[in-house]
Structure 1
């Protein structure tokens, strides 16, 4: 048996290019969505609805990423939190879909909100993953000091 092969996964630090791209995608998606809301001709309560759905979606997406990763690494996560995280992501997508379906916006505006929402959620997951990967790759280094 080869002594250099281990069953433990090796933690690699994420490249600065991928970290920067992830942050840029999250900021572009978040900013585009909110600039669109700011300039939209809709009632303030509608703007509040869409803004809240975005924030809830970002939180839920990060919670799913964290709970999935924790479980993979053997860190205890309750079934309740794990389930609520997944339900929350699906709920935000459903809330945005229903809101846009019933909105008096052009199709291009609806598509704009949908795409910037999905970009923001995906990028938030990538940023969280990068953060976690980089912290994990530094742990052996910190243990040796």
Structure 2
């Protein structure tokens, strides 16, 4: 059976006590070219006339998912993964019902191989244990 690492336990505790902290800290920080680091990441999605499936690893409170949904309404199938149920609960309260939210670790996804077109992650990969996985 899986046992969370000390870092994972820290992040689970932190996000349970302070959901939405990451988006509150970064959503308003502008650059010369983008409204925020979230907007910069969203801009990396290639324009496409066909629907895309986008996976947001460590989606937190769903800020990036909501931005993607607003930028390309009806053209993205969105999936968010986070290990914090508290963050996912906040995300669910503000996202459309068709956005799929999963309480999972990025290192052990239940998503079918090759079922996603694009993977995004805002400031999370650097914090994950066992990043090769």
Bigger CA radius of gyration: 1
Give the TM-score of the pair, scaled to structure 2.
0.29
* Structure with greater contact order relative to length (CA < 8 Å, sep ≥ 6): 1
More strand by share: 2
Give the TM-score of the pair, scaled to structure 1.
0.27
